[in-house]
Amino acid sequence: MLTGTCHCGTTGWTLNAAPESATACNCTICRRYGALWAYGYVGRDIETSGQTSTYLRQDSGDICFQFCPICGCIMYFAAKSADQRGRYRAAVNLRMSDLSLIHKVPIRRFEGHNSFKALPGDGRTIEDVWF
């Protein structure tokens, strides 16, 4: 189990399993947020707490980014619509968690700007790109 909180402590999340990887995406919004995503489903793998504000991505219309209304930290995103099994795909921003617990998690790079494809791994981990 892994937890993350915003800077002011108002908003949090719990990832019920250790992340196997962290996704760094270069799409128009992820590159601005600088997030490292770990995926799951709301209510199954991911639990959230505290009040958030929402940004609904206008170009896709199905991804709701949740951020702290006080300090502005991007906490997670969740699909607006359920999949065929009734689940809501989501991802937590691993940058909100304790580095000592995730520093060896490998980075998975995703080309979300042009090709929408996963890129080959290069062996880097979160500690290699933390700052």
Q: What's the pLDDT at 62?
A: 83
List beta partners, residue 2.
15
Q: Tell which CATH architecture fits domain 2-129.
A: Beta Complex (2.170)
- Specify the pLDDT at position 116: 85
Phi and psi (nearest 5°) for 95?
-65, -10
C-alpha 70/C-alpha 128 separation (Å) is: 29
Whole-number pLDDT of residue 130: 80
Q: What is the DSSP letter of 81?
A: S
The b-or-e profile of 76-93 (16+ CB within 10 A means b, else e) is: bbbbeeeeeeeebbbbbb
Confidence (pLDDT) at 43: 93
pLDDT of res. 59:
72
Residue 129 confidence (pLDDT): 87
**What ranges in the chain are assigned the alpha helix state H?**
30-33, 99-102, 126-129
Coil/strand/helix, residue 55: strand
Residues of the chain with pLDDT under 50: none
110, 118 Cβ separation under 8 angstroms: yes
pLDDT, position 60: 67
- The pLDDT, as a whole number, for residue 112 is 87
Q: Give the Cα separation of 58 and 66 in Å (integer).
A: 14
Q: State the pLDDT at residue 24.
A: 96
